[in-house]
C-alpha cells in the first residue's frame, strides 16, 4: 500500500518539544486501503495480517469482514483436523510432553474457532453503511 499520493503531510512546529509531522490519508489512499482490505487470503497470516485487516474492516467493502472470518475459519478447521489426526495416530515421539503440546494446540484452535463464530455472528447485524464510512480526508 505504499506509493505517492496516498498520504498528505503537514509539519507542525512546537514550543518546548520536537516538531512533529501530521499525516492524513488522501482519497487515493482510502481507495488503496479498501483494495488491500478487500483482498481475502485463503490462508491468512493469522498472527499479523488477519487481525490487522479485521481491525480496519470498518473501511472495507460490505461483507469483507465476514469473508476474512470465513477464510480464517477454513484455515483453522484444516489445522484442527491435522492436529486430531496426529492425536489419534501413532505419535512420532513417545513422550508425555508431545501429547500435552498437541492438546494445547487443539485447545487453542478450538477456542479460536469459537471466537471466529462469535465474531461472525456479532458482525451480521452491522449495517452496511457503517462499513462503507470513508476515512476523513
What's the CA gap between 81 and 84, in Å, rounded?
A: 5
Residue 134 in this model has a pLDDT that exceeds 60: no
What's the CA gap between 41 and 94, in Å, rounded?
A: 37
Mean pLDDT of 10-31: 93
Mean pLDDT of 28-35: 93
Q: Band of the pLDDT at 109, cuts 50, 70, 90?
A: very high
How many CB atoms within 10 Å of residue 45? 12
Residue 57 in this model has a pLDDT that exceeds 70: yes
Residue 8 in this model has a pLDDT that exceeds 90: yes
Report the predicted TM-score, pTM, of the whole model to 2 decimal places: 0.74
DSSP line for 64-128: HHHHHHHHHHHHHHHHHHHHHHHHHS--SS--HHHHHHHHHHHHHHHHHHHHHHHHHHHHTTS-H
Q: Band of the pLDDT at 13, cuts 50, 70, 90?
A: very high
pLDDT for 127: 45
What's the CA gap between 34 and 93, in Å, rounded?
A: 47
Q: Band of the pLDDT at 99, cuts 50, 70, 90?
A: confident
pLDDT for 46: 58
How many CB atoms within 10 Å of residue 110? 13
Domain spans in the chain, listed from the N-terminal domain onward:
42-131
Q: What percent of the chain has pLDDT over 90?
A: 69
- Return the DSSP state at 50: H
Amino acid at each position: 500500500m505504499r506509493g505517492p499520493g496516498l498520504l498528505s503531510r503537514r509539519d507542525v512546529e512546537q514550543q518546548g518539544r520536537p516538531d512533529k509531522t501530521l499525516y492524513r490519508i488522501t482519497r487515493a489512499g482510502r481507495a488503496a486501503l479498501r483494495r488491500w482490505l478487500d483482498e481475502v487470503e485463503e490462508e491468512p497470516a493469522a498472527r499479523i495480517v488477519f487481525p490487522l485487516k479485521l481491525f480496519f474492516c470498518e473501511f472495507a467493502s460490505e461483507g469483507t469482514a465476514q469473508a476474512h472470518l470465513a477464510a480464517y475459519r477454513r484455515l483453522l478447521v484444516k489445522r484442527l483436523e491435522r492436529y486430531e489426526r496426529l492425536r489419534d495416530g501413532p505419535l512420532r515421539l513417545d513422550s508425555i510432553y508431545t501429547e500435552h503440546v498437541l492438546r494445547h494446540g487443539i485447545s487453542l484452535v478450538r477456542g479460536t474457532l469459537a471466537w471466529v463464530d462469535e465474531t461472525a455472528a456479532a458482525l451480521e447485524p452491522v449495517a452496511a453503511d457503517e462499513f462503507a464510512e470513508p476515512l476523513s480526508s
